[in-house]
Homo-oligomer: A and B are copies of this chain.
């Protein structure tokens, strides 16, 4: 059978990885797919560098539109990133009747609905395994492996940079700023780490998972996003002594009681005995809770040239296999068919339900604890555990009060925190972190 011809848009880290993996494992892949899959054209602004990677046998151009216009190209792989050129080229490729593979979570989370609608119209596939958790086949697990299930929630470590930073903070007892510098030096964090450390990258990925888990449109603008900037070593230590680890989790949860869906990214206390709490360094892991199968977990490298290429090439093979199936029988882009997407809304953060970890710097005097617990009780917040500790800077007459609560509606907690903050015996801004049991 004739080879499937692939055109790459952008040959940076992931593009080079894809070229390398396809070349190195071409025989293994052909034995599986039944036909060869070959990159026959590459577009990159840096034509020289691109040519130095792929050699002379492959046509290299500066303009992605030449790739799209080539009638021999069956699949266009977009690895440019961002929303600008990438979006335009993906839409043009679709308009030209090409199947598309992309690793671009930002593009999908923000413009996915438009892109998938265009793809449906033209009867082409848009595959995006590489957009979430790198080489872990989590998109496939959600869209195909768990089709029997009503998915209840997903919680994932889906940003390697922040997990590396949190692991180092815990291991070495260091503060955020110090570890970030080290991560940048080691290449685990970019020069401008904003997208990672502020949780935006994780929120893109959580948005994609939320859509395919619950059959709703992409709604990145409704996601609640908090990063790990400002997280203090003291809280990691206290959490540890209470049996918890702090992880930056992307969480999405179906809330039948509120007829809505939670979609949020934030540092989260997780029981130390959970597998996901033990995922260290730059590794990723996603836990999925579903009604028939129960809990499943998927673990692996969430970034890097070859792990991401692994996902890109898996998509290429899938398209090679599925392009002969009638479009109506293919796996729907968003796991659920476009005509049966749900309009269940994303809930505002005030309506989400989690437990909380609070740290209050208080005056070391009689009645303080009583005033605080009374305030919590007045807001229907029940307490799971209380620790009193010398204040982290050892100031006389002050101490740290650490409180774990049971599940509560976030809005009530915010009101209670404001009330407690106003107490004269509360001497510093209250630290609050969400806690999930993930059982």
* Residues in chain A within 8 A of chain B (CB atoms): 1, 17, 21-22, 24-25, 28-34, 129, 134-137, 140-141, 143-150, 215, 275, 278-279, 290-301, 306-307, 309-314, 317-318, 320-326, 328-332, 335-337, 340
Knowing A326-B324, A332-B32, say if A292 contacts B135 (CB, 8 Å): yes
CB of A38, distance to nearest CB on chain B (Å):
14
Q: Which residues of chain B are within 8 angstroms of A147 by Cβ–Cβ distance?
A: 29, 32-33, 313-314, 317
Q: Is the CB of A330 within 8 A of B336?
A: no
Knowing A295-B300, A307-B293, A320-B329, say if A148 contacts B336 (CB, 8 Å): no
Q: Is the CB of B321 within 8 A of A325?
A: yes
Knowing A296-B299, A310-B293, A330-B321, say if A145 contacts B149 (CB, 8 Å): no
Q: Which residues of chain B are within 8 angstroms of A295 by Cβ–Cβ distance?
A: 299-301
A24 CA / B290 CA spacing, docked (Å): 13
Q: Is the CB of B329 within 8 A of A321?
A: yes
What residue of chain B has the Cβ atom nearest to residue A321's Cβ? B329
Q: Which of B21, B32, B278, B328 contacts A292 (CB 8 A)?
A: B21
Q: Is the CB of A148 within 8 A of B314?
A: yes
A290 CA / B324 CA spacing, docked (Å): 29
Q: Is the CB of A300 within 8 A of B300?
A: no
Q: Is the CB of A329 within 8 A of B324?
A: yes
CB of A138, distance to nearest CB on chain B (Å):
9
Knowing A149-B310, A279-B275, say if A144 contacts B317 (CB, 8 Å): yes
What residue of chain B has the Cβ atom nearest to residue A300's Cβ? B296
CB of A381, distance to nearest CB on chain B (Å):
32
Q: Is the CB of A293 within 8 A of B300?
A: yes
Q: Which of B306, B321, B328 contacts A293 (CB 8 A)?
A: B306
CB of A291, distance to nearest CB on chain B (Å):
7
CB of A77, distance to nearest CB on chain B (Å):
13
Residue from A17, A33, A329, A332 with most neighbouring chain B CB atoms (10 Å): A329
A34 CA / B312 CA spacing, docked (Å): 26
CB of A303, distance to nearest CB on chain B (Å):
11
A172 CA / B207 CA spacing, docked (Å): 43
A309 CA / B147 CA spacing, docked (Å): 11
Q: Which of B32, B137, B320, B323 contacts A141 (CB 8 A)?
A: B137
Q: Which of B24, B31, B321, B329 contacts A215 (CB 8 A)?
A: B31
Q: Which residues of chain B are within 8 angstroms of A129 by Cβ–Cβ distance?
A: 145
10 nearest A-B residue pairs (beta carbon): A137-B145, A148-B313, A135-B293, A296-B300, A325-B325, A293-B310, A297-B299, A31-B340, A292-B310, A147-B317
